[in-house]
Structure 1
Amino acid sequence: MAKVDANQWVLTGVTLELHRLPGNRDLLREIPADSGVSFEEYMPWLELKEKFLSSMSDSSLQRVVQGDFLEYRNADAKVSAFVVDDDSERDEWPGQGDVWSIALGRGSVGMSHIFKYRLRSPLGGLAADLEADWVDPDADGEFYLQVDRKTYLTLPKGMHWRDASWLSFGLAVHASDLLSRHPEGLTVRVTSFTYSVTHFRSEMVALAMDGWVREVFDLPDRGLCVEFGEEKGDYNFRWGTYGDPFEDDLLR
């Protein structure tokens, strides 16, 4: 949904959550009764492709790795199919090779994905969970931060400014790689960032964002890491080749 003005909303996209069908017999009965359209419990991607996309060339479909899913997207039609790619078997959820969901609408929308950052240490360690997805730039009119020319970031409500800075840095180190894959640009939407106060350092927000980006887009390691220093009894954060994380020429 996109807000046009204070009193008007416009539908800009729809997601068919096919993954809800195997575990919900009532839903399987209700959908045909309400819409006249029937669905099977599971929808294999290859069958869907053969039935509806056989006339299209493979080059018309963009294939993007999204964590445990593959996205097959037709940019012209603005349709994406998300397919399970984690060797799981069918049960109450779709299994390997099955369609998880189909997104229809203005621009691409990436699957929501949770990255769990963990590091053990004599102090107890560091731990945080970051949940985010991604969309085409300005797909829903939200407020965003500009991280690079065509890379944007939206934040969870109430995030501390220091954490927001480190979150932006964790995304910025991958800006050039993201632009090469998405020349039209993209917006990463962080919907949740949770942590234990006793296992937290603000710098690790960058490592959580770095891990999320690399896992979702299958990007190379840029050298962001942390280790526990026995001598000083504290954490040593390293930023690869980037030196000062907030220097002006970071993205050059």
Structure 2
Amino acid sequence: MPLSFHKMHANGDDFVIVDARNSVNPVTSAIARRMGDRNRGVGFNQLAVLLDCDDAAARLVFWNADGSPLDACGSATRGAADRLMREANSTSIVLRTNRGLLTCERTSTGAISVNMGAPLFGWSDVPLAQELDTTVLPLEGDPAACSMGNPHCTYFVDDLRAIDIATIGPAIETNPLFPLKTNVHFVQIVDRQHIRLRIWERGGGIPLGSGSCCCGAVVNGIRRGLLDDSVEVECDGGSVTVQWDGVGAVFLTGPAEAIFSGTIADGLLKA
């Protein structure tokens, strides 16, 4: 049976949503990988599956394009919230992910704001392979680490143009210090309320943006005393705002836009 999907993007960070409410979840790791192929499938950075949920509008399950699962995706969460708020004719909705219940709201400008939950800093929460202070890791460049439901490693650099992300990114992603691999951020601070961010995404490569990476980068910058509690994050594809008071939940605000809807042919699903 063909599988319906919706393609969306958030500042160029593209993702696919499969609505599997009122049905059995049709997506497996293999199907996610086939759909994520930009030459033979639909292509995306992440896939979000909407499932029935007793205590929220829907439960979200996320996949990377390589077929690996993940617990958090700020861009796809915004996209799912946008669709479900339009469906319910509402400006607020609650979604469940492996991070817990996330409240999402539409702002007066039409952007989607998501409570992404509180960051985690324990070495076993990131996780790291050994007990270390996550504020400054013993790697060249002295990065910081945290978890937003997925692992993040943040470098603060003077000039993003001097960073060979395609070479450095995968080497850090697969460093033995990160047993589940890691997202890698390269941050250039414009001022205390504005950063430029480029990303090597775990299981994905170099995206135009990433909601959870924006959150992780700002959180690590605040922990280092480099940033204020509300920061504009400028990625290759556009900007979002990240707010964190240093104690509680992280709030991510930015756009999400529909691109097209379609169906995946039966043959691809059975390949």
| Larger relative helix fraction | 1
Structure-2-length-normalised TM-score: 0.22
- Bigger Rg, which one: 1
Structure-1-length-normalised TM-score: 0.23
| Larger relative strand fraction | 2
